[in-house]
Structure 1
Amino acid sequence: MLYRRLLIEWLVVVIAASLLVTASVRGRWTAPVDNILLDSMTLIRPANADDRIMLVEIDEGSLARIGNWPWPRSVHASALEMAAKARPAAIGYDVLFIEPTAEDGRLAEGLRAAAPVYLPMLPGLPDADGRAATTADQKPPPPISAAAAGLGSVDVNFDDDGVVRRFEPRLNGAVPHLTELLVRRIDPQAYQAHPPAITQIIPFQRPGAFRRVSFDDLQAGRVPDALIRGKVLLFGGIASGFGDRFLVPFSAGTLMSGVELQANMLNALLHGDFYHDVGTPWVLAFSLLPVLLLLLAFLHFGPMTNLRLSLAGLVVVSAASVALLLTIGWWIPPGSALLGLVVVYSLWGWRRLAAVSEFLTAEVVQLQKEPDLVPAAVPASGRGDLVNVETNRLHDVIAQLRALRAFIAEILARLPDAVCVVDDDGAVVMGNIAADRLFGRAVRDQPLLPLLAGIGLGGAAREGEVTLPDGRTLVLSRAAIDGIGTIIRFADITELKAASRAREEALQFLSHDMRAPFSAVIALLQDRTSGDSGAVTADTALRIRQHAGRGLKLADDFVQLARLENARVVAEPVDLAGALAEATDLVWQRARQRNVAIRERIDDDDLWVMGDPALVQRALLNLLGNAVKFAPEGGTVECRIVREGALAACSITGQGPPMPPERARDPFIPFAPGTDAAGEASRGLGLAFVRMAAERQNGSVGYREMPDGMKEFTIRLPLVTDD
């Protein structure tokens, strides 16, 4: 919705900017700025003043010595005759001789003597429709006109600000300009190469660039002939009493006399150095192009980039206009383009801010209606203008969302199962603490496949139950998230699998091993009761007693093992040698029955361990009882207590039958099959109790096989420390 609104606003700005720039170009709204830039160019690239041009100035000194203006025409004739002696290339006499006088003949003689001499005239002004003249051409009297080499216009073209910047060869009708006549005479090739057909910009010289002499000095013969030989002499007044002074660009001195202005025009004609105004279509294209490019950038870049592009556009447009003028002489006014860039940036910034503000206001209001999962923050101040108020509301909502995000992230991080969020490229974009622990490193921004391969899954993430090389069992499950990726959960069910196996083994034990002796007792009793006498013989009673005792022993071992799993262990100092002696006393009767000798080797009688006295004694009794139980008739069981650093170790060594493979790998696992010396079945519940008792008391167990069928079982418990 916001994008559609912004696109509509953008189209409106495009239309408004295009109309604005077009109106500015056609109405020359930025002419003052353009003129300042144009006038500055002469300071950067002034044209070369032609050495052939020399000004003969009617200055204040000439007026003081010759007399007040107007002078008799004989004075002008004598000056022309003096100049003719030096043989100049041509003379342009910028003095109007309109009214007839008695000295017209004398002036005509001077004109013929100094020929070629070109005189000015005033062309008739066109009517408002440009088709008829309101006044006739004002020419010198016939004697003077006939003696002159040609008559030309000296009118100038004023810009809107009253400054003379441009040269128009046919300003008022078909009368050629005076400087155009001079160029035809002295340099026809230059005229043919650069015919002044259209209005062109004058490259003004700096004040004083042209050579000049005083009219009085020339008339009095004080000017050397060599100085003016072959030159183009331009006669004209510069004294303050003359009215032909024109505003020119500040780089040319601001105020310039008519004769010097004619010199600048003549210099540009001789060298073809005019700057050229391009047509309105080109100016319009030059002005619209950067504005439209900036508008296109607004659709793709952010505010800061757009600001930089806008500033760069101002610099590039100005530099391009200057570069075109200084390199190929084309003048494209940059003002309309600069105006368009400034206005379009401001307009777009306003409309975009308005659209975004309205959108955010609506979204904030809608979001504030949603139920919160975490407590809301303290509302910000509602003072200030509308933007400030809406900004504060947005700040509140962002704080709320940030708190919600932290809340959700904390929940994910603290989940007991490893969870990873994977993007479409297979990279982990989010993971919790359990995932870092599972893979052994931080998983965020890591590719998933190498992580899986690192824990032995071979780079695959198939759903279901998988077993790792270290024995752990995981359940992988996936949940796709549209536009984000996939959530993968790694649930560790190792303990559940172990508990399930233990439950199955316990059920098997209960259903088979514990039922077997009681089934045998029942069978024996049934046999005797079905006989003739019904009496129980001594042999039957002995066998019943053996089966019942075996069942009772299995039941007792099972109950003790199950009870130990959840029992609270209270550790206290225990005399390990004393506990071993008590266990020996308890198995002595059975050892005597089987003629098994028990030998003790105690390296240190004063070894006290931290543990539960009943558990320590029961564990030693199980080890010693198993050794006597599995020992052959007449065998020997050796008991040894030694110190091993911070531990005390009690080892029980004796000879016994070979163990099945399941028991040989770990004799302390419960419910593993085995047989004693008499061939009776054994499930290892006693040894399982020993290991659990040792681990619950911060100890450990060990087993090793020795030559000649000897087997050693060891329990290690921590010694009592001084502190």
Structure 2
Amino acid sequence: MNTLTNRTRPPPSGRLLSWLLLAAVASLVMALFAVAPPKRVDDVLYDVLIRADGRPADPSILLIDIDDRSLAQLGAWPWSRAVHADMIDQLDQAGAKAIVYDILFTQGSADPAQDQALGAAIARSGKVYLPQFLAEGEGDAPSRVIGPVPSVAAGAAGVGLAHVRFDDDGVVRRMAPFEAHGPALSPDLITVVHRATRPHDGPDPSRSAEQTLLVPFAGPPSIYRHVSFSSVLQGEVPPELIAGRTVFIGMTAPGLGPAFPTPVTPDAASMTGVQLQASILDGLRSGQMIKPVGPFGRVIFTLTLLWLLMAGLLVLPPRANLVLTIGLCLVGLAYSAAMFWLGRTWLSPIATVIGLKIVALVWGWTQLGRVNDLLSHELARIRTIARGRKPAAPVGFEGDVVARQASSLGEAITHIDDLRRFSADALFSLPDATLVANARGRVIAANAAAEALFKSLPPQGASLADLINTLEPLGHRFELDWPPNPKEGSTERHDPIDLHLADGRAYHLQTVFRRDAQGAPAGWIVRLADISILTAAMRQREQALQLLTHDMRSPQTSILALLATTPDAPPELAERISAYARRTLALADGFVQLARAEVTPVFLEPVDLADVAVEAIDEVWPQSAQRKIRIEQVGGDAPLMVLGDRSVLARTLVNLLGNAVKYGPEGSVITVALSERPSASGPTVEVSVADQGPGFSREEAATAFRPFQRFERPGSEAAGGAGLGLAFVHAAIARHGGEVSCRSEPGVGSEFTVSLPRHGVG
């Protein structure tokens, strides 16, 4: 007993080794995820925190909207540059602190005097900021900066890039204080405005080492005060509303300018460019721009929480580890939120939280495996003691979780033992003769059917070979070492053997080799199924096929040959006798083909169904040409591979085409369409044969594939058919794992479709 315990119980160092392995792998994987976190999930959490931030908007920002009202009063866009000159003069007189245009003046006006007038107004003001944009270079050429025309930009207080950065999900969350184009760096327009208008002691996040900054949106676009362009131009806005404020001028009318999705907009594209620029300036001035934590900081954060979890997994019980895992995940989320709101730093906890959960699950699965090993040890112990006495059922819930599981396992094994006995009783009550032999081939058990079969020699203790040899099977003699034990790793089920006895009985002999739990040879299960009736039926079937293929065909062939060599026979009588003989031949051929299609094994190999269709079309061409019927093929330019017996598939399509030629009127068209279609079980190849014949009714289409089903049509060539062609098609396609269907309408025609699984996909 002690030997069994020491052999099955894992060594004490196994748990520590698995812990070290998990810690090393988890540290490496989670560090990689910290360096390259899952962006989409991080962005969702960031958007939630931004919307919950709720900080007030900068009151010194004023938006002047080029809106629908302005377009209605001042005319369609674009406006004369004199209008913008008047606006700048009016804002300057009202005391605007800075005027930021979100309109590109990159092309000269048709009237150069207007450009000069606008440039003069900008120069007089001295506080107008104009945008530039980056144009992508052709080929490998770097992007280049395109700004306002010189006559307009000469007097501007500053120019900068109006460049929008999109995240992977198409949402705008960040801005770059500087954009690279080739070897040069160009400042963002809002960076220029912020540095020119901020107090000397004010914060300047644009000077950080970060290439991009996350925008702390104060809220939706409506959070900033805004007025209409036409209202300002017509003097309806009091000067005190403008004085001392930074004024943004841009297009907000729907469809006039671009709109961008942001975390604070309710739909996919509702923040215009000028509103986005105002939000960025608000974040820079307030010092609330959010800096993303670099890879090193993310790795430290992730590994700190991971190693706290790993320490707990090593020393704490399972329930405490569950609480620890949940607690560390909450700590990660809370720390990230605190860094966001208090430190204006974005440290995503998503990869860390997911990693902690996965590590806890993997450790739990590892421990579950150890519990399984312990339960296996207990199972071996119960099997040992169950030989002498039945294990006592557990009482109450004494002991820890593992002990209770082991006690429950003991009770379950008792039920399994009862089930084993029930299975043995069921096995030996089978109607087929069944023997159980040990690894040396000696019979140790036999059911009632086996004892009745081997009356001359009692099965118990006999050799399997000697026992079966007493039946004196025809053409078989089993040696004493039969059946040979299979080698380790080889198949444990021998090919079945059909035994035919002198008295006409036949048995199907099947042997199965069994091994014990350690893989050692355990013995044999031998079953002898009486197939005498089945063998007799197969013999009768072969005789019937022989009758059809020879005994019925020969007289009909002789009749046709006799009619061909008897010129004195009345033509009408000879034609009628010839028709009857051909019909009998067709019936015999159709019945033989149908019988073989139903039971004969098909030899599957890769076949191009398009080639098979071409062969079938060629075979029926003489009949179709005689009746001036044209056969058109649609599709099949590329190989359509299926697994099938080429000859059987060819006969199937020939039958369908032959029926179409028979039933189709002279001069009609038969369409053979080949295609590949998706299905729930995988791609399929379809071949449809459509004719312009009389068609079927719904009731006739439902019975078209039944044997001996014939449909006489006036004026068709189908008279005298055996009614087995479509039955053969149905049986052959079913043996190939496919389907065949019929779609028809009286007076329009019929379409038969064969569908087979596509081969070589995936």
- Give the aligned partner of residue 176 of structure 1: 187
2:194 maps to 1:186: no
- Give the aligned partner of residue 60 of structure 1: 68
1:334 to 343, 349, 370: 349
The 3 A distance-change label for structure 1 pair 353 and 319 is same
2:84 maps to 1:76: yes
Give 2:33's aligned amino acid.
Answer: S
CA-to-aligned-CA distance 1:649-707 (integer Å, 9 cap, x gap):
xxxxxxxxxxxxxxxxxxxxxxxxxxxxxxxxxxxxxxxxxxxxxxxxxxxxxxxxxxx
2:30 maps to 1:21: yes
Secondary structure of 1:7's partner? helix
Secondary structure of 1:162's partner? coil
How far residue 241 of structure 1 moved from its aligned partner, in angstroms, is 2.0
Say if 1:25 and 1:280, in contact at 8 Å, map to a contact too.
yes
2:99 to 91, 102, 120: 91
Give 2:334's aligned amino acid.
Answer: A
The correspondence of residues 301-450 of structure 1 with structure 2, limited to 5 A, is 301-366=316-381, 368-370=383-385, 376-377=391-392, 394-396=409-411
Say if 1:275 and 1:325, in contact at 8 Å, map to a contact too.
yes
Say if 2:34 and 2:298, in contact at 8 Å, map to a contact too.
yes
Tell me the distance in 2 between the aligned counterparts of 1:326 and 1:94.
Answer: 30
The 3 A distance-change label for structure 1 pair 371 and 123 is closer
CA-to-aligned-CA distance 1:605-651 (integer Å, 9 cap, x gap):
xxxxxxxxxxxxxxxxxxxxxxxxxxxxxxxxxxxxxxxxxxxxxxx
- Give the aligned partner of residue 203 of structure 1: 216
The correspondence of residues 471-620 of structure 1 with structure 2, limited to 5 A, is none
Tell me the distance in 2 between the aligned counterparts of 1:138 and 1:190.
Answer: 33
Tell me the distance in 1 between the aligned counterparts of 2:80 and 2:386.
Answer: 105
Secondary structure of 1:81's partner? helix
1:293 to 296, 308, 314: 308
The 3 A distance-change label for structure 1 pair 379 and 319 is closer
1:144 to 152, 155, 175: 152
2:253 to 215, 232, 239: 239
Secondary structure of 1:234's partner? strand
Secondary structure of 1:25's partner? helix
2:289 maps to 1:279: no
How far residue 276 of structure 1 moved from its aligned partner, in angstroms, is 1.4
The 3 A distance-change label for structure 1 pair 127 and 353 is farther
Secondary structure of 1:158's partner? coil
The 3 A distance-change label for structure 1 pair 361 and 309 is same
How far residue 253 of structure 1 moved from its aligned partner, in angstroms, is 6.7
The 3 A distance-change label for structure 1 pair 327 and 191 is closer
Secondary structure of 1:98's partner? coil
Give 1:200's aligned amino acid.
Answer: L
CA-to-aligned-CA distance 1:364-408 (integer Å, 9 cap, x gap):
31454258997533699xxxxxx9x98676344999xxxxxxxxx
Say if 2:69 and 2:230, in contact at 8 Å, map to a contact too.
yes
Query: What TM-score comes out, normalization by structure 2 length?
Result: 0.48
Tell me the distance in 2 between the aligned counterparts of 1:242 and 1:19.
Answer: 51
Secondary structure of 1:152's partner? strand
How far residue 356 of structure 1 moved from its aligned partner, in angstroms, is 1.9
The 3 A distance-change label for structure 1 pair 83 and 253 is farther
Say if 1:63 and 1:69, in contact at 8 Å, map to a contact too.
yes
CA-to-aligned-CA distance 1:263-294 (integer Å, 9 cap, x gap):
11111111211111111111111112212211
How far residue 2 of structure 1 moved from its aligned partner, in angstroms, is 5.0
State the Cα RMSD in Å.
3.0
The 3 A distance-change label for structure 1 pair 253 and 181 is farther
CA-to-aligned-CA distance 1:452-471 (integer Å, 9 cap, x gap):
xxxxxxxxxxxxxxxxxxxx
Tell me the distance in 2 between the aligned counterparts of 1:47 and 1:127.
Answer: 44
Give 1:80's aligned amino acid.
Answer: I
Say if 1:98 and 1:141, in contact at 8 Å, map to a contact too.
yes
1:163 to 171, 190, 193: 171
How far residue 149 of structure 1 moved from its aligned partner, in angstroms, is 1.5
- Give the aligned partner of residue 219 of structure 1: 233
How far residue 73 of structure 1 moved from its aligned partner, in angstroms, is 1.4
- Give the aligned partner of residue 663 of structure 2: none
The 3 A distance-change label for structure 1 pair 148 and 210 is same
Tell me the distance in 2 between the aligned counterparts of 1:378 and 1:267.
Answer: 74
Tell me the distance in 1 between the aligned counterparts of 2:213 and 2:28.
Answer: 28
Tell me the distance in 2 between the aligned counterparts of 1:289 and 1:213.
Answer: 52
- Give the aligned partner of residue 8 of structure 1: 17
Say if 2:217 and 2:264, in contact at 8 Å, map to a contact too.
no
Tell me the distance in 2 between the aligned counterparts of 1:220 and 1:126.
Answer: 43
- Give the aligned partner of residue 49 of structure 1: 57
The 3 A distance-change label for structure 1 pair 393 and 369 is farther
How far residue 109 of structure 1 moved from its aligned partner, in angstroms, is 2.2
Give 2:84's aligned amino acid.
Answer: H
2:38 maps to 1:38: no
Tell me the distance in 2 between the aligned counterparts of 1:397 and 1:136.
Answer: 77
Say if 2:66 and 2:229, in contact at 8 Å, map to a contact too.
yes
The 3 A distance-change label for structure 1 pair 2 and 215 is farther
How far residue 97 of structure 1 moved from its aligned partner, in angstroms, is 0.5
Say if 1:368 and 1:397, in contact at 8 Å, map to a contact too.
no
Say if 2:203 and 2:286, in contact at 8 Å, map to a contact too.
no
- Give the aligned partner of residue 474 of structure 1: none
The 3 A distance-change label for structure 1 pair 351 and 127 is farther
Tell me the distance in 1 between the aligned counterparts of 2:138 and 2:13.
Answer: 56
Tell me the distance in 2 between the aligned counterparts of 1:217 and 1:58.
Answer: 10
1:262 to 277, 284, 297: 277
Tell me the distance in 2 between the aligned counterparts of 1:371 and 1:250.
Answer: 70
How far residue 126 of structure 1 moved from its aligned partner, in angstroms, is 7.7
How far residue 87 of structure 1 moved from its aligned partner, in angstroms, is 1.8
Query: What TM-score comes out, normalization by structure 1 length?
Result: 0.50
Say if 1:206 and 1:252, in contact at 8 Å, map to a contact too.
no
Tell me the distance in 2 between the aligned counterparts of 1:116 and 1:350.
Answer: 67
Say if 1:184 and 1:191, in contact at 8 Å, map to a contact too.
no
1:250 to 264, 268, 282: 264
Give 1:250's aligned amino acid.
Answer: V
The 3 A distance-change label for structure 1 pair 367 and 237 is same
Give 2:35's aligned amino acid.
Answer: R
Tell me the distance in 1 between the aligned counterparts of 2:349 and 2:123.
Answer: 51
Tell me the distance in 1 between the aligned counterparts of 2:24 and 2:368.
Answer: 19
Structure 2: give runs of 5+ residues left out of the alignment.
1-9, 396-401, 415-762
Secondary structure of 1:92's partner? strand
Say if 2:123 and 2:154, in contact at 8 Å, map to a contact too.
no
Give 1:9's aligned amino acid.
Answer: S
Say if 1:191 and 1:269, in contact at 8 Å, map to a contact too.
no
Give 2:17's aligned amino acid.
Answer: I
Say if 1:287 and 1:337, in contact at 8 Å, map to a contact too.
yes
How far residue 68 of structure 1 moved from its aligned partner, in angstroms, is 1.6
- Give the aligned partner of residue 697 of structure 2: none
Structure 1: give runs of 5+ residues left out of the alignment.
381-386, 400-723
The sequence identity of aligned pairs, in percent, is 32
Say if 1:90 and 1:233, in contact at 8 Å, map to a contact too.
yes
How far residue 134 of structure 1 moved from its aligned partner, in angstroms, is 2.6
Say if 1:167 and 1:202, in contact at 8 Å, map to a contact too.
yes
The 3 A distance-change label for structure 1 pair 196 and 56 is farther
How far residue 118 of structure 1 moved from its aligned partner, in angstroms, is 0.6
Between structure 1 and structure 2, the one with the greater Rg is 1
Secondary structure of 2:108's partner? coil
